[in-house]
Amino acid sequence: MRNSYIFLRHALTTIDSSQPAEKWVISEEGIEEICNAVSSGKFDDVDVIISSSEKKAIQTAYYLAERTEKEINLNPNFKELNRGQEFVDTQEDYETRVWRIFDNPTTCSFGWETAESALARFKRGIFRLENTYSNQKIIVVSHGIILTLFFGDLLGLEKEELFTRWKKMKFCAWGKVTESKVVRDIIID
């Protein structure tokens, strides 16, 4: 990799059962959370802001863009794993589905995109950034499942470790990758 990357999970969302998850927005607590992260100055030196095309990621990126006076570039390759239009009623049901995605990366469970397909899409996005930018510090605002898959792949983790990592990942968690190596894990214990 010619660029240095910071991968940032979007801020906490407001769950809206009338909308698919990709249309959810960040909550008041999420706004406070991202404002605190941005005001710390730790992202001030980014050259490029890339956001998933999902609303919650764009909203999170907005606070970065406002502080750094950089433009937000949308890239659908960094969207969350496609979970269809169905709303899952309970957290337990949702977690069961996520566990199955990690446990069966080549199988389409519940009509969701496979983990293998989502990770390949994400990597294509990185490949395109590598062909567009050179020696830049790029922040990519994305989502929990896809970031778990990507960091798991970079770290060479077994699929059995991914669900636990996903559950540990906080909103506004961030990790850094330089020269295809994780220099700051997105999961901090």
Whole-structure pTM value = 0.95
Q: Parse the chain into domains and list their residue ranges.
A: 4-81+119-158+169-184
pLDDT-derived band of residue 124, with 50, 70 and 90 as boundaries? Answer: very high
pLDDT, one tens digit per residue, over 23-40 is: 889 999 999 999 999 999
How many other C-beta atoms lie within 10 A of the C-beta of residue 67?
A: 16
pLDDT at 189: 65
How many other C-beta atoms lie within 10 A of the C-beta of residue 160?
A: 9
Token pair recorded at residue 100: 């199955």
Tell me the longest C-alpha to C-alpha distance in the chain: 45
Q: Cα(18)–Cα(24) distance, rounded to whole angstroms?
A: 10
Q: What is the mean pLDDT of residues 158-185?
A: 96
Q: Cα(34)–Cα(40) distance, rounded to whole angstroms?
A: 10
Strands of the sheet containing 174-178, edge to edge, are 72-74, 48-51, 137-142, 4-9, 174-178, 181-184
Distances in Å between the alpha carbon of 77 and those of 62, 94, 132, 141, 177?
Answer: 19, 23, 15, 11, 18
Class of domain 4-81+119-158+169-184: alpha beta
pLDDT, one tens digit per residue, over 132-167 is: 999 999 999 999 999 999 999 999 999 999 999 999
pLDDT at 81: 92
pLDDT at 164: 96
